[in-house]
Structure 1
Amino acid sequence: MDFEDVEREHGGEAVRRAIAGADYLGRSTAAKAERWTLPIIDTTRWSAEPPERRWIVPGWLARGTGCLFVGEAGVGKSLLAQQLVTAVAAGKRFLGLETVQVPTLYVTCEDSDDELHRRQQPINEAVGINRLAAPAALSSLAGHTDTALGALDGEGRFQLSPVFDGITAAAKQHGAGLIALDNVAHLFAGNENARRDVAAFCSALDRMAIDCDATVIALAHPAKTEGSEFSGSTGWSAHVRQRWFMERPKDALDRDARVLRKSKSNYASSGDEIAFRWHQWAFVRDADLPDDQRAEIAANIQAGHENERFLACLEKATEERRATSPNRTASNYAPRVFAAMTIGKGVSEAGFAAALERLLHLGTIRNGERVYQRDNRAWVTGLALAPTLAPTPAQTLARERTETVAALRDEPAPTCTHSPPPYYVGEGGAADGPPPSLRLYVNDAPTDVGGG
């Protein structure tokens, strides 16, 4: 039965499906005698010993397959991926790990050429190569609206896209043994919760890895659920043979600290971790920093923690109507009070004393500020956050000049957005009369309190 017979018997839709099938399989479906056959490995050709596994990063990143690299937004996946391809292309260590030098390709769908350029020099300095070098092949697809590697067609078959073919061709031409794709949100056009869609996409990553004889590492985000290491179907973990996860250490004092974990590996041990940090626009391990820099970073981390705890304790004390003092001999000496508070645990009195000096010097806090009012409306003063919009003499003088000009023009003065400080105005004082008296004005309103 040919296509005309099919159309007469079943209608045009059947013909469309038949033609689609012919395009996909590369043959006419009318040729009933031709069938797809399962490829069987000729094991008689196997040598006595299997070939050794090849690695890009020994024990961490195997060659010839896909890898999913997951991390929360803003943790630095893109920066680390560019640092990875740079280190591998230059034959340098990656976060202390040995690498196998091969050409590399990094394709980003989110960052521009200029952004890649800005990242490269700090990366080179961290890796230990000339700051102007560009050892990896870089490509930016930022702004491109169709970057999917493929999609399922009407028959449920995954069709590879021109983008897939273009990346594969470029990787082959460059001889890339490592291909980094940033990121899955732009490259995957399916439903992340549908196992079939996910499996097809992960198979496409493996297809590219096999065709290019490379490792293909695809960057992705986890779900918002606490503790999640991928988003959507469990197929994201099940259908890749290696998976990395990058995060900030939980409860860490240092916001620049990071951890890279080998969450899954079918070819080596899983669960290994590397601790490192963001430093001068690249990632480094503490062990790779000079002793003086390491000590300075540790001191800054501790100081930042002490400052943060001091301000938290100050806020809590103010909420509880407790005024504190910077005076060491006072019973309400702030460092002593804060060291005894629950939220101050972990910081010593000496640590709070150091924070007090730093915060006073920075102007973050001030002494003698109003903390709370007693029942008799009298204010209790002590340490408090410095006002953020305190009036300045320059603002007051500018306001007075504006009012004077407006009065001369017989125009209403414009509204002032700053609350003026209290001030006195002289009343009386004629040449042949008694001396002038002073009246106190608060928020431009006269009060009953005067002066002479």
Structure 2
Amino acid sequence: MTITTVNFSVGDPVEHTKYGSGSIVEMEDDKVTVAFDKHGQKRIIARYLTAGRAPPMAANDNAPSAVNPADWHGQPIPARQWYAEDLIPMRQVTILNGDGGVGKSLLALQIAAAGAMEVDTLDIGPAAGRVFYVGAEDEEDEFKRRLADITAAHGKGFSDLSHFRLFPLADQDATLALPDRSGNMQPTALWATIVAAAGEFRPRLIVLDTAADLFGGDEIKRGQVRQFIGMLRQVALGIDCAVVLLAHPSVAGMQSGTGSSGSTAWNNSVRSRLYLTADKDEPDRRILKVMKANYGTTGNEIKLRWRAGAFVLDDGKPSPVNALLAARAERIFRDILTAINASGERVAKTKGVNYAPRVMAERPDAEGLTQKQLEAAMFALLAAGELRIEMEGPPSKLRQRLVLATEQENE
């Protein structure tokens, strides 16, 4: 028997004697999937359906209305609002691209923490206020370690992060949106939870880390990408905040130097895109490039260096953060030297087995400081007269011993 099908197309309105009215969302041979108005999606043989009537156009209270620019006459021009001047606009989505391991998560976390602590960082002046950070790649303990370094670098502590809310999702399904059968992106239950919490907390900034974990669609399908970015923009507009989405660049994006990822829709759908890259010649150096700025200037660069768990400016000028990091290194150097001398051991200024910076860098109480950082602290303390060198042993075999000036005075 030959089955004759009605000439339907996806999107057509249809009627069913049991389920009522609906519209076709998928077709396969003589079977169609229908999204019924009152009964959800059903898979139906086409011959049991009849053509439906398109719903009449009805008045919509939320429909857009035309604006007459002449009405603006005499009104003040609103200033552009930024979360970070010329980098992260308010009420928009900004993409921060970066190769794996380059530090884009650390940079985003540092900017967010600075905003929550109401302090400047890297001379970008993030807006003071509440922040949300959704991290799909790291566990809570990793965030604790990173935020300990970031707060210390700014002379702060965990108690100064009361305006910071963190969602560590490394051990969970972090998908925020998935495509349905027709390929349209639909929010997940986690999305509803995050949006509801954000709506109650009202952050100035939401950071989403990373797109690979949060976006459940096909990154090369423009429609799905645009829908996902549209979902994020709705949140930015509804809460009056900035949204920063972290993303890995594609192989082509890395090779071309643009840092773009997947479909061009990622770049085309946002108003701002940043790219963090590493300096091949200097492992601790990073360059933050402005790749797209609809409201600013593209091509700008910010040079950064990794120092003791945080980024600092690499512009050749002294900065408050550099001073804080140097003070921290000097404090740790003094504390370790006191502990070493109290134990009866000795360390020296000259390089060798007992070279002070090398010995100290291997100790757990060095708090992650490198030999190079401890070396800089040692020379700074020597120049300030806070360290002195004692000579021990017989004249034929004198040995150095590094001590604090206060230790000599107390003897």
Q: 2: CA distance between counterparts of 1:8 and 1:175?
A: 40
| Per-residue deviation, residues 182-240 of structure 1 (Å, max 9, x unmatched) | 11011111111111121111111112211221111011101224224022111111111
Distance 2:323 2:175 in 1: 44
Residue in 1 aligned with 2:109?
82
For normalisation by structure 2, the TM-score amounts to 0.63
1:261 maps to what in 2?
289
1:34-183 to 2 correspondences below 5 Å: 34=57, 39-43=64-68, 46=72, 48-130=75-157, 132-135=159-162, 136-145=164-173, 147-183=174-210
Report the equivalent of 1:16. Answer: 34
Q: Distance in 2 between matches of 1:114 and 1:284?
A: 23
Deviates further, 132-141 or 256-265 = 132-141
Task: Find the aligned partners of 1:292 and 1:61 in 2 and give their Cα distance.
Answer: 26
Residue 119 (structure 1) shift: 0.9
The alpha-carbon distance between structure 1 residues 20 and 215, as it changes in their structure 2 partners (threshold 3 A), is farther
Instruction: For residue 17 of structure 1, give the secondary structure of its aligned residue in structure 2.
Output: strand
Letter in 1 for 2:65: I
- Equivalent residues of 1:121, 1:132 under 8 A apart: no
Residues 120 and 134 in structure 1, CA contact (< 8 A), matched pair in contact too: no
* Contact 2:94–2:272 (8 Å) recurs in 1: yes
Q: Among 9, 25, 32, which residue is 2:55 paired with?
A: 32
Report if the CA contact (8 A) 2:122-2:312 is conserved.
yes
Separation in structure 2 between the aligned mates of residue 190 and residue 120 of structure 1, nearest angstrom: 31
**Within 5 A, what are the aligned runs for 1:399-438?**
none
- Cα distance in 2 between the residues matched to 1:221 and 1:15: 36
Q: CA RMSD in A?
A: 3.5
Structure 1 stretches (4+) deviating beyond 6 angstroms? 5-12, 20-23, 357-362
Residues of 1 paired with 2:325 and 2:192: CA distance? Answer: 50
Q: Is the 8 A contact 1:150 1:164 kept in 2?
A: yes
Q: Going by fraction, where is strand more abundant, 1 or 2?
A: 2
1:64-113 CA distance string (max 9 Å, x none):
01111100000111111111111111221121122221211111011111
Offset at residue 131 of structure 1 (A) = 5.5
Matches of 2:197 and 2:54, distance apart in 1:
36
Q: Quote the residue 1:303 is aligned against.
A: none
Residues 243 and 262, structure 1, Cα contact 8 Å, conserved in 2:
yes
Counterpart-to-counterpart distance in 1, 2:325 and 2:143 = 30
Instruction: Tell me: CA distance 1:278–1:292, structure 2 relative to 1, closer, same or farther (3 Å).
Output: closer
Work out the CA distance in 1 between the residues paired with 2:221 and 2:352: 53
5+ long unaligned stretches in structure 1: 24-28, 297-356, 363-452
Q: In the alignment, residue 33 of structure 1 is paired with which amino acid?
A: P
Distance 1:21 1:176, change over 3 A: farther
Tell me the distance in 2 between the aligned counterparts of 1:13 and 1:94: 59
Partner residue in 1 for 2:215: 188
CA gap 1:41/1:53 in 2 versus in 1, 3 angstroms: farther
1:15–1:77 CA distance, 2 compared to 1 (3 A): closer
**1-structure distance, mates of 2:248, 2:67:** 41
Aligned with 1:16: secondary structure?
strand
- Look up the SS of the partner of 1:205 in the other structure: helix
Q: Counterpart of 1:85 in structure 2: which amino acid? A: A
AA matched with 1:69: L
Secondary structure, aligned partner of 1:93: coil
Question: Which aligned pairs between 1:257-336 and structure 2 lie closer than 5 A?
Answer: 257-286=285-314, 287-288=318-319, 289-290=322-323
Between the aligned partners of 2:307 and 2:232, the Cα distance in structure 1 is 32
Using a 3 Å threshold, how does the CA distance of structure 1 residues 358 and 172 change in structure 2: closer, same or farther?
same
Distance 1:123 1:268 in 2: 28
**Is the aligned partner of 1:245 residue 2:275?**
yes
Deviation at 1:153, TM superposition (A): 1.6
Sort the Cα spacing of 1:15 and 1:118 in 2 relative to 1 into closer, same or farther, 3 A.
Answer: closer
State the Cα distance separating 1:132 from its structure 2 match.
4.7
Q: Distance in 2 between matches of 1:237 and 1:191?
A: 15
Distance 1:292 1:16, change over 3 A: closer
- Output the amino acid matched with 1:77: K
8 A Cα contact 1:6 1:15, kept in partner:
no
C-alpha separation between the residues in 2 aligned to 1:36 and 1:151? 31
Say if 1:7 and 1:14, in contact at 8 Å, map to a contact too. Answer: no
Q: CA deviation at 1:34?
A: 4.1
TM-score between both structures, scaled by the size of structure 1: 0.58
What is the total number of aligned residue pairs between the two structures? 293
Of structures 1 and 2, the one scoring higher in RCO (CA 8 A, sep 6+) is 2
- What is the CA–CA distance in structure 1 between the aligned matches of 2:88 and 2:184, rounded to whole Å? 30
Which digits, 9 at most, give the CA deviation of each residue in 1:274-318, with x for residues without a partner?
111111111112432249969x9xxxxxxxxxxxxxxxxxxxxxx
Q: Which residue of structure 2 aligns with residue 229 of structure 1?
A: 259
Note the residue ranges of structure 2 that are not aligned, 5 or more in a row. 1-13, 42-51, 330-349, 356-411
Letter in 2 for 1:119: R
- Distance verdict in 2 for CA 1:187–1:15, change over 3 Å: closer
Does the Cα contact within 8 Å between 2:117 and 2:161 map onto a contact in 1? Answer: no
Q: Percent identity?
A: 29
